[in-house]
Structure 1
Amino acid sequence: MKAILALEDGRCFEGISFGATGTTTGEICFNTSMSGYQEVITDPSYRGQIVAMTYPQIGNYGINPEDAESNGPHIRAFVIGELCEVPSNWRSNQTLSAYLAEHGILGIEDIDTRALTKHLRTLGALRACVTTELDAEAAVAAAQAAPPMAGSDFVKEVSTPTSYRWEAESREWVLPNASTGATGPYAELPPVRHRIVAYDFGLKHNILRRLRQTGFDVEVVSSSTTAEEVMAMNPDGIFLSNGPGDPAALDYIYLELRKLIGQKPIFGICLGNQLLAHAFGGSTFKLKFGHRGGNQPVKDLRSGKISITSQNHGFAVDAATLPDDVEVTHINLNDGTVEGMRHKIHPVFSVQYHPEAAPGPNDASYFFEEFAALIDQSKQ
């Protein structure tokens, strides 16, 4: 079936539909990852967005439940160059098209994703419509009528309604290796070292897995949980997750976080980094087209070390608005934007990217150990 991708500026792309049929709108963005499309589709940080993958063929290893980053897909639609209809992987139990159809998500293939990406890099993020029902003119009008991402609060849609303790499978999958003593297929989990509370603003499962692999016992709480409720749990530390939407619209969250600074060690990732900036008294701004993919270079200003990182965000911290007692620790080498910061007095730090990857490189996985070390130091 023919499908149309229409942008708010009037540009249209014709393609072929897969997955579900119908009409949907949202901000369109592009992801440069070469693999990990299932993790992208199920990442709650993409709530309200249409995602285009720059890698040419998608779907070649199918879908399996173990690689999902949440309980289902969060994207509005999926835009690709070529769909592989016959996946080849022993872990696959479903095709990408069948998975999207099951969850009512529209897909469109046979799109010139290179042209689309260059267009978005030139003009910036745009609202878009994917449809199998409307003509081009009506699709453009639908895109223009879609609400903007700035000012949006999608955290309310993705956060857990009730708190829970993370007890799902968290062992790391490893290959047997005689030289290291690994017997496979899983590495045993370490004993629990610290009890923490994790705010769920759109929490990815692999973050929870990595926290448990580092020795954390994790109690996950809703985004609306107050500082008083968190302190009543008396955790060893507090974790702030990734999530979707505009951080400036989340004053009901960052005003509570402000009360927690100096009370317990805090570690934030992605949206958690941006919310900390607001809690410190700083501000954020919308990037032209965002950072999304597994190849973002980041420099640690303290050591000079460069890491290749996995990222997914459309907003960034304005360094000029941060108070004097907050230090920028990491920057993006492509555009110089803030990628990490720490408080000079209190045990609080954060990064804008994803140290848990999924998908992406593992250069930054050491931050989970840094969080554990910060808690140890704080206890002493």
Structure 2
Amino acid sequence: MTNYSKLPAILVLQDGTVYHGKAAGKIGTTSGEICFNTGTTGYQEIFTDPSYYGQIMVTTNAHIGNYGIDQEDSESENIQIAGLVCKNYNINYSRHMADKSIQTYFEEENLVGISDIDTRSLVRHIRDKGAMNAIISSENLDPESLKALLVDVPSMEGLELSSLVSTKEPYFFGEEEAPTRIAVLDLGIKKNILRNFDSRQVYAKVFPARTTFEEMEEWQPDGYFISNGPGDPAAMDYAIETIVKITQADKPMFGICLGHQMLALANGIRTQKMHNGHRGINHPVKNIIANRCEITSQNHGFAVVKEDVLKSDKVEVTHINLNDESIEGIRLKGKKAFTVQYHPESSPGPHDSRYLFDDFIAMIKG
């Protein structure tokens, strides 16, 4: 394990802002869009969420690594973030279920990070200036050369990333004799979504991102699920076409996060890059159909255009964000299709939104 504790590291933002800190994880250089998550727990779930692919994560909680790494907490097979920025980087951990330290984990996964940063200052800067690219290095401490490297880092806007994190081959999840069969379009799915289906007696077949409707329909599923994932939804024409065909066939469909944005695009509603997105575990959302509030987990840097939703004759709003009134849920009029922008499968404490899985099963059986 690297004795990183006295090695310096540097963080350079696209606007030229520079932060100096200490190396964390693998010694090296990494770049990507910088964003922050306000959750107080769940760092391993964040690291392994495919929706964060290509992004440098700033964790606002003061201590990262203090409860170690347990493989059961991973949402995918590998770390998906491009890099980590944190305040206190803790190699020592105190959870008996953990099987390794965060430093060992990062070295195994080749993850470059930086610690001992004033994350409060950094988050305020990102919040005010908006999403931007950044670079971390513990091998090159020259800000000017790092700024030059940043020029070649692509903007998240316009990037198609789902096909990079999706499964390469179809696979099954759950019990084959289960009474309900769901075809899952994997745009970057989290494992806990599949666990939620399995616990509701659903047998899922998970398909690669670029699978056509016709290919999935050959399996004769009872319904379709469109997963979360990374990148710009507007760059995913192949998935939009698939969802158009699912809804034209009036098949039961449920989508989460990126799946929500894809249903909107399939119905002529635009998406847009947010100033700095929603990433945390305590976002209040109102279910306007049931007239109740949910505390939700969120992770998205793009959103559907509210004005397009409100003037659309194809969809109706089901959920709104109580912080900024952005659209958090829609359903198609006269069709068996609904989506939400947030993550009902997450377990930040509240399970307020788990009913959505039950609603989907009821829609299929109804």
Identity %: 46
Using the TM superposition, name which of 324-333 and 50-59 deviates more: 324-333
Residue range with higher mean Cα deviation, 73-82 or 158-167: 158-167
Contact 2:177–2:203 (Cα < 8 Å) also in 1: no
Q: 2:81, 2:347 → 1: CA distance? A: 16
Instruction: State whether structure 2 residue 213 is matched by structure 1 residue 222.
Output: no
Find the counterpart in structure 2 of residue 60 from structure 1.
66
Query: Mean alpha-carbon deviation: is it higher for 347-356 or for 14-23?
Result: 14-23
The CA deviation at 1:192 is 2.3
The residue correspondences of 1:348-359 to structure 2 (distance < 5 A) are 348-359=337-348
Which residue does 1:9 correspond to in 2?
15
Distance 1:299 1:17 in 2: 42
Query: Is 2:68 the counterpart of 1:81?
Result: no
- Matched residue, 2:189: 203
Q: 1:369 aligns with which of 313, 334, 358?
A: 358
Contact 2:257 2:343 in 1 (8 A): yes
TM-score (structure 2 length as normaliser): 0.95
Letter of the structure 2 residue corresponding to residue 136 of structure 1: P
For 2:247 and 2:176, the matched residues in 1 are separated by: 29
Could you tell me which residue of structure 1 aligns to residue 156 of structure 2? 149
What's the CA shift string for 1:140-169, capped at 9, x where partnerless?
2323331100000111110111101014xx
| Alignment counterpart, residue 294 of structure 2, candidates 296, 303, 307 | 307
AA partner of residue 17 (structure 1):
A
- Deviation of the 1:262 alpha carbon: 4.1
What is the CA-CA distance between 1:133 and the residue it aligns to? 2.2
Superposed CA deviations along residues 91-127 of structure 1, whole A, max 9, x for unmatched, are 1111011101111110111011111110011000010
Instruction: Name 1:325's counterpart in structure 2.
Output: 314
Deviation track 1:58-91 (CA, whole Å, cap 9, x = no partner) reads: 1111001111100010111011100112100011
CA shift, 1:191, in A, is 7.5
Give 1:315's aligned amino acid. F
**Is residue 293–residue 360 contact of structure 1 (8 Å, CA) maintained in 2?**
no
Matched, 1:95 2:101: yes
Report whether the alignment pairs 1:194 with 2:183: no
How far 1:277 sits from its partner (Å)? 0.5
1:209-259: CA deviations, max 9, x gaps? Answer: 011111211000011110111222111000000000000000111112101
**Separation of aligned partners in 1, 2:229 and 2:27:** 27
SS at match of 2:307: helix
The code of the aligned residue for 2:149 comes to A
Structure 1 stretch displaced more, 341-350 or 319-328? 319-328
TM-score by length of 1: 0.91
Amino acid corresponding to residue 290 of structure 2 in structure 1: S
Provide the secondary structure at the position in 2 that maps to 1:314: strand
**Deviation, structure 1 residue 319:** 2.7
Residue 366 of structure 1: how far off its partner (Å):
0.8
Match of 1:182 in 2: none
Structure 2 residue 281 is the aligned partner of structure 1 residue 290: no
Question: Match of 1:261, SS?
Answer: helix
1:164-197 superposed Cα distances (whole Å, 9 cap, x missing partner): 1014xxxxxxxxxxxxxxxxxxxxx998231010
State whether structure 2 residue 331 is matched by structure 1 residue 342.
yes
- C-alpha displacement at 1:321, in angstroms? 2.1
Q: 1 CA distance for matches of 2:196 and 2:41?
A: 20
2:125 aligns to what? 119
Query: 1:7, CA displacement in angstroms?
Result: 0.2
Extract unaligned runs of 5+ from structure 1: 168-188
Corresponding residue number in structure 1 for 2:239: 253
- Whole-angstrom distance in 2 between the partners of 1:33 and 1:56: 11
Helix, strand or coil at the partner of 2:77? coil
Shift of 1:18: 1.5
SS in 1 for 2:95: coil
Secondary structure of 1:102's match?
helix
Distance (whole Å) between structure 2 residues aligned to residue 72 and residue 359 of structure 1: 21
Letter in 2 for 1:278: L
Counterpart of 2:3 in structure 1 is none
Q: RMSD between aligned alpha carbons?
A: 1.4
Q: Structure 2, unaligned stretches of length 5 or more?
A: 1-6
Match of 2:167 among 153, 160, 163: 160
Correspondence 1:38 to 2:29: no
Select between 268-277 and 327-336 the one with higher mean Cα deviation: 327-336
CA–CA distance in 2 between the matches of 1:109 and 1:126?
19
Q: What residue in structure 1 maps to residue 53 of structure 2?
A: 47
